[in-house]
Structure 1
Amino acid sequence: MKLSVVEQAPVVEGLTPAHSLQHSIELARLADRLGYERFWVAEHHAEIFNAVPAPEILIARIAAETSGIRVGSGGVLLSLYSPLKVAEVFRTLHALYPDRIDLGIGRANRVKPPVFAALRDDTAGKEPSSDDLWRRLEQLRAYLNPDSGLPFTVSPRMPGGPALWLLGASVSSAEAAARLGLPYAYAHFITPQFTREAMDTYRAAFVPGPDTPSPRPILSVVVCCAETDAEAQRVYATHRLFHRRMSQGDVRLLPPADLAVAEMDKPGPDPLAEESFEWPRYVVGSPDRVRDQLTKMADATGAEELGVVSMIHDQRDRLRSYRLLAEAFELTPR
C-alpha cells in the first residue's frame, strides 16, 4: 500500500501562519525520508485556520527541500483561474523538478461567494458550475500537451509535464474522472457518506486515457496515530473541540490537545461522535488499529493509495503520527 501526504498547513493556537508553513516544509522532509509517495498541498482562501492560498509557491520550496517524493497540488481550484496560466505555472515546476510534479485539480464550490468574486474579479460572484470546470479542465489538458496543435506555444516547452489528477468529494466528480480517463483522489474526510459509491463508480465507469490506461484511485483520509489508543484520542481531542466550536459558529484556530480534552469533558455537542457512516470520517488510534482500519477501507474501495491528512496542534505529535503510520505500513525509507 502506498501512502501520501495531503497537507492543509493548519494554523494552530499560539503560532502564526509563518510557523505553519515551516512546519509543512519540515513534514515534507520527513515524508520524503520515510518513503511516502507524494506530498500534496491544499489550496484555501480567506480561512484563518489554513495557511496556503497559493500552493504553487510552497510546492516549489518543498520540491527544492526534498529529493524523491512527488510534490503537487491537492488541489488547484481551477474555476478561479485561467487554465493557460495554471499550465504555465506547473510546466515551469516540471522544468525545475522533472517527473516529480503532480497537478491536482479541484472545484471552488467551498469558497465563499464574495471571495470567489474577488479572486475572479467577477462582480456577479456566481458559484462555479460543473460544466465550467470540465470546460476549463479540457483546456488545461490541451495546454499541458505540447502536441495539441495549439496556435501558440505553451512555455516552457519541453518533454513530459506534470501528472494531472482530478480531486473530488462527490459521485459526480468520480464520474467525471472516469469519463475523462484521469487519476482520481476522493476526499473521504469531507463526504464519508458517498465514499463507497464514488469509488465504485470511478472504477466501473473508467474510460482509459492517454496517460492512464487503468483506474488510479486515491482515498484521502484524516488520520491521528499515536503509540496507544488513549494517546491518539488525547491528540484527537483537538479536532473534536474544533468541530464543536464550528458547530456553534465559533471559528477559531486549532486548540492544544490538553485544553481540548478539558473542554470536551464539559457538557456540549460532539458532532464527530454523533456521526454514523460505513467508515469513520477520521481514523484514530494505535498503529495496529489505524493500519487495520485503513487497510479495510482500501480493500473495500479498491484504493491503490491513501492520502493522509493530519489536523494536529503539536508539530511533534503530527510528525510522530506520520512516522508511526509509515512504520505500520512498512514503507521503504529513502
Structure 2
Amino acid sequence: MKLKLGILDQSPTIKGGSSLQALKNSIDLAVFADEAGFHSVIYSEHHGVEAYGSSSPEILSAAVLSKTKRIKVGTGGIMMKNYSAYKIAEWAKILGSLYPERFILGLGKAPGGLKDAVSALNNHRPVILSSQEAKLEEIIQYIKEEKGIYGDLIAQPVNLDHLPDILWLGSGVQSAKEAARHGVGYSYADFMSHEQGNESTETYIREFDRNQYSPAPSLQVAVAVSVAENLKSAELNAYGMAYQFLQARHIQAPEALLPTEIIQQKIMGSEDEEEFFKILEHIIIDTPDNISRRLQEKAELYNTDELLILCNMYNETDRINTYKSIILDH
C-alpha cells in the first residue's frame, strides 16, 4: 500500500534556543518536505507553552503556502473554543481561495494551553462551554455559504472553486462520531495514547455520512517517530519528545526540549520512570532500512493510507534526518 505521508510540526523549541529559530526551522522543514514528496505538513496550536514556537498555525500555514508549490498545508488544529466560528471560516476561505486544493482546515476541541492562556484568549471571560460540534456545524455553513444562525450573513470570499479540506482532530470515539456525522476528515492522535485507537477509527469509517461535507471518508493517523542509524541512537533521540508527552499527561506545560543526558538525570530512579518508558515504547523507534515496514504495519492496523509523522528532537539535524529517512525509504 502506497502511503500518503505527512508531517505534524509543533515548531519545537530547545532549551537555550528561541521560538524564532523554531519557526525558521518549521519553514525550512516545509520547503524540504515539498521538494521531497511529502503529502502534507500540519501545524499545531499552543499558547503560553515554552516547548512550542507556534501560537498561530493559520499564519504559519499562510507563510508556508507562499513558499511551497505542491504540498498540502494546514492547521492541526485550531483550538475552536477560543475563536468565533465566523472568523475561522473567513480566514479558512481566504487561504482556500488563494491556494485551492492545498489548504487543510484542521480543528480541535482542546483548549490549546493551561488556564491563564485560555483566559487571556477569551478576554478574561469564562470560557463558554458550548458544544464544539455545533461550532463545527456553523463553520461548515459559512464555508458552504448556507443559511445559518445569522440568516444571509456571508463569510468572504464567496464562490470558492474548491472548498478547503476539513479535519476534525481527536483521540476518542466521540470525536470520531462527530467527524463521521458531519462528513469531514478525522485525524486520530495515536501519539497521545498508550493504546491503539482502532475502535475510534473503525467507528469513523463505519458511520461516515457521505451526504455531508465530503463524499468519502478521510482517515489520518498521527504517530510519533524517531529514526537513526542504530536503534540506541534512535531511542535516545526520542527522549525529549517522550518527556514532553509525560509532562503534558501530568497537566503541566511542557518544557523546551532538553538534552538526553538531562532527561536521564530527571527520570532515572524517579516516580515517573515507569510511565516515561511506557511512553517511549509507544513511539516508533527504528533504523532507515526498517522504518518503511513499521509505518506500513501501523497504517494496516488502522486501515488507512495516510500517516502524519511527529518528530521533536533536541538536535534539529536529527529531526531532519528522521524525515529524510522516512521519505527516502518510502
TM-score normalised over the length of structure 1: 0.88
Q: 1:78 to 1:165 in 2, by over 3 A?
A: same
Larger deviation: 188-197 or 108-117? 108-117
- Equivalent of residue 8 in structure 2, options 6, 12, 28: 6
Q: CA deviation at 1:147?
A: 5.2
Which residue identity lines up with residue 90 of structure 1 in the other structure? A
Q: CA deviation at 1:41?
A: 0.6
String of CA shifts for 1:240-280, please: whole Å, max 9, x gaps. Answer: 454567769795321124544x537843332232459xxx5
Which residue identity lines up with residue 316 of structure 1 in the other structure? T
Q: Distance in 2 between matches of 1:178 and 1:53?
A: 28
String of CA shifts for 1:170-197, please: whole Å, max 9, x gaps. Answer: 1110111111111110001112435111
Q: Distance in 2 between matches of 1:216 and 1:23?
A: 29
In the alignment, what sits opposite 2:137?
A: 138
In the alignment, what sits opposite 1:37?
A: 39
Unaligned ranges ≥5, structure 1: 330-334
Q: Distance in 1 between matches of 2:252 and 2:156?
A: 46
Q: Distance in 1 between matches of 2:117 and 2:27?
A: 27
Which residue identity lines up with residue 134 of structure 1 in the other structure? E
Which residue identity lines up with residue 205 of structure 1 in the other structure? E
Which residue identity lines up with residue 225 of structure 1 in the other structure? V
Unaligned ranges ≥5, structure 2: none
Pairing 1:60–2:59 present:
no
String of CA shifts for 1:138-177, please: whole Å, max 9, x gaps. Answer: 1100110135585133211232232111111111101111
1:308 is paired with a residue of what secondary structure?
A: strand
Larger deviation: 50-59 or 240-249? 240-249
Q: CA deviation at 1:125?
A: 3.7
In the alignment, what sits opposite 2:77?
A: 75
Q: Distance in 2 between matches of 1:210 and 1:300?
A: 27
Task: Number of aligned residue pairs: give it.
Answer: 322
Pairing 1:272–2:276 present:
yes
TM-score normalised over the length of structure 2: 0.89
Which residue identity lines up with residue 195 of structure 1 in the other structure? G
1:193 is paired with a residue of what secondary structure?
A: coil
1:33 is paired with a residue of what secondary structure?
A: helix
**In 2, are the aligned partners of 1:170 and 1:194 still within 8 Å (CA)?**
no
Q: CA deviation at 1:65?
A: 1.1
In the alignment, what sits opposite 2:258?
A: 255
String of CA shifts for 1:263-319, please: whole Å, max 9, x gaps. Answer: 37843332232459xxx5311111244322222221121122001111111111111
1:287 is paired with a residue of what secondary structure?
A: coil
In the alignment, what sits opposite 2:303?
A: 302
**In 2, are the aligned partners of 1:114 and 1:125 still within 8 Å (CA)?**
no
Q: CA deviation at 1:200?
A: 1.3
Q: Distance in 1 between matches of 2:291 and 2:266?
A: 23
Q: CA deviation at 1:13?
A: 1.2
